[in-house]
Chain A
């Protein structure tokens, strides 16, 4: 069984959502980001991205959740992936931000969950 770290548990939008966490292990982690968002115009990709930094502002992790939206301003479930990351340092505090990508909107009717599996 992996170590499980819940960063967001069906957290209400809008984006951006920011936070921090202490790495539970130094084994290679995988981040699972799921949620919904809206495209600001029709027939475009709807994307949410998560970035992770250490305290030196050094880039430590990244993942996205994307879906193509034919309709504008309609809440869409994004494709959620388990994405491998390079190892964090055990006990180190990291900052993260989840933000909307180009042509993407979120509001209080969008919800986001983030889990790290080590």
Chain B
């Protein structure tokens, strides 16, 4: 910042239009430019959303084994017995057999860990950079939605269409990212959150493999077990790509010219 004082801008402006007023206008414009510069600089220093994007992308990717359907031979051999895991359709979908029975446990832990790690990440970064991002809303959003998802089935209220594929945790992540976009005041993260929410909704309501079938994918008998994976891999890919892009973009912008 320079030592120029804005008082002179204001004082000059009191005389009304003319040369003095023009000088006041020019000084006011310089002040506004400086406000914009400081705002951009502060946001660039504060933005740190690459980590939650990569984290939730990775957690989604690691959930893939739970979405592999049991083999027909295991079904015939009686391996489809009801899972010992409690019925948590909001986290694990309606399937309760084989590995899929443990999907609910995986997501329950992954969502809790993902939201907690993200919150701690923003706290740590706030201390290191000297700028705090209000991330508590992100944590509360995750906790409230997760609690509702746990409680609602007990009352008989299960939005079947949304939870049937076991992809409702993506909607919890989307809600968290939307809150984070607000806290970060980031248009880029808002766009990512909206795109991801759309993909998460599609993954919850539609079998994305149908698109691949139309494009020519003709799975063999052994590949049929994997046909549910596009609904998981696509959201994971979106988050990983967005997180990687955000990491390099934020690193580039912070590098001194």
Q: Do A and B come from one complex?
A: no
